[in-house]
Structure 1
Amino acid sequence: DHSTRFLLRSMVTDSERRPLEQFMFVSLELGKLPSDTDLVPRQSELLATTAAPPDELELRGAPLWSVTEPPPGFSLSSARRPRNGVAGTEHLVYSDGLANVSIYVEPRDAKDEEKTTVAGRGTLNVYTTVDGEWRFTVLGDVPVLTVSTIARSIGRSVKDAAETHQAPTDVP
């Protein structure tokens, strides 16, 4: 709105300017203070917080896997492994401060074909690929170019996981 400078509509588009998501006010009353009940969320999911699943443990030391060439601004913000997982299985989170990208590294299932799968819905994009004995799944509310760039640059951080993995902590 030009007179109040309130953002009334926002749209996320892809590289070809096609809309992916759109937010807008359909009704807005200016100049009226909200009541206490107006400030209470009406949907319980709005109160949800995110935390590591109880079956994951924070890694101490460097993770076994890393992104060798992350997109500009992205860096490792979290590294976890399943409590009872196979050595080398990890859940990494890279962030640029605004968006988070999760990377799941897990042993390849014998049925997995050596192919790459790309899927998206709205702003969420998922890129899955198999390389040797490992399957890599990268997902986030970021452009498909970001998840594919990250997936193509995942590599082992070190030759021997025992060199960097210390006893895990129970920090969620």
Structure 2
Amino acid sequence: MRRLLLVLLLGSAAAAQAQAPSGPRQLDPSATLDRLGIALQEHSFEGVVVYARDGQLDALRVRHLAGIGTDLVDRLTGPELPLRRGAGVAQLGSGTPLGFEAAAAGAVAKLEPQNHYRFEQVGEDRVAGRPSEVVDLRAGDGLRYSRRYWIDRDTGLLLRAAVYGADGSLVEQWMFSSLELGIEPSSPGAAPSPAQTLRAPSATDIPRTRIQVVDLPAGFALVSAAVDEEQEHLVFSDGLARVSLFAQPLPDQAAVLSGHQRRGALSVFGRLFRGLQIVVVGEVPAATAERFAQSVEPVRGG
């Protein structure tokens, strides 16, 4: 999970929809998502991204160096909160984690998102002055969100994305308002590392955990886990959506995070389980996040 590259969720609520010239065209899901991951490995860029959610509009300047593994981000609106990265998640200040991780090509192919999303090319458009292909990823059930992607025709970079609820309502969207390709490292020591081939994890890649989710939503699988003496962090994916489950002992007198919170497309659900604070964070509907949290059980012999 830590090696997956970050694309921040930011966008504009006022952009016009693209028109399909000759009707939707079915796409190969694996090839479509592979292209997004490869583009981030191959292209360095700097740009301004705007993000609309919950009636709020924000802007960030993002600098991405291919192969470096660190994105530099400056917030251009509101308080000057520092942005930090931890365990593959970007976070503004001390607020709720915010971010979209481009899926690993190998993991996506093995998780078969085509069983739960319908991939269609629906038209063409321009984002940040660049021609782009507009792709719909329509969810087959209410357990996940539908999405629309604007993919740069020349580079394969994701230039804009919109997230929709089961009723078709717009949950959030982000897009580049400006983009400069081919930027160079600002210091001599920041040279890109060779691109690595990403693959789906095997059972031996994931450490043994003490807890498990016994009622996984259809299509989701455990793809990563980090375990120490007290804390556990489990990551699940259906090949597109990603859900993190955190478990750690709750100190005496500490406040319990209980129930549901939402920030744009990001759902958070917390509960207390056998003295553990369980927190589920994912770009999924509220009911899906709650299902993960309520399905936690100890692993036998764990």
CA drift at 1:113 = 5.3
CA distance in 2, matches of 1:41, 1:3: 34
- Aligned equivalents of 2:174, 2:225: Cα separation in 1: 33
CA RMSD of aligned residues (A): 3.2
Q: Which residue of 2 aligns with 1:54?
A: none
- Please give the alpha-carbon distance, in whole angstroms, between the structure 2 residues aligned to 1:79 and 1:116: 23
Q: Residue 2 of structure 1 aligns with which residue?
A: 20
CA separation of 1:116 and 1:25: change in aligned 2, threshold 3 A: closer
In the alignment, the residues of structure 2 paired with residue 147 and residue 18 of structure 1 have an alpha-carbon distance, to the nearest angstrom, of 19
Is 1:69 aligned to residue 220 of structure 2? no
Q: Percent identity?
A: 29
Which amino acid is 1:21 matched to?
E
1:12 paired to 2:163:
yes
| 1:92-171 correspondence to structure 2 within 5 Å | 92-112=234-254, 116-159=258-301, 161=302
Post-superposition offset of 1:158: 1.5
Q: 1:38/1:96 Cα in 2 relative to 1: closer, same or farther (>3 Å)?
A: same
- What runs of 5+ residues in structure 1 fail to find an aligned partner? 28-36, 48-57, 162-172
Measured after TM superposition, the shift of residue 133 of structure 1 is 1.0
Please tell me whether Structure 1 or Structure 2 has the larger radius of gyration of its CA atoms.
1
Q: Is the 8 A contact 2:212 2:299 kept in 1?
A: yes
1:78 aligns with 2:227: no
**TM-score normalised over the length of structure 2:** 0.38
Q: Deviations for 1:59-113, whole angstroms, at most 9, x for unmatched residues?
A: 63x311110010000111111113xx42xx2111111111111111100222245
> 1:24 and 1:91, CA in 2 relative to 1: closer, same or farther beyond 3 A?
closer
| 8 Å CA contact retained: 1:59, 1:81 | no
Structure 2: distance between partners of 1:127 and 1:72:
19
- Residues 41 and 3 of structure 1: CA distance in aligned 2, closer, same or farther (over 3 Å): farther
For residue 2 of structure 1, report the CA deviation from its aligned partner. Answer: 3.0
Kept in 1, the 8 Å contact 2:257–2:277? The answer is no
Bigger relative contact order, structure 1 or 2 (CA pairs below 8 A, ≥6 apart): 1
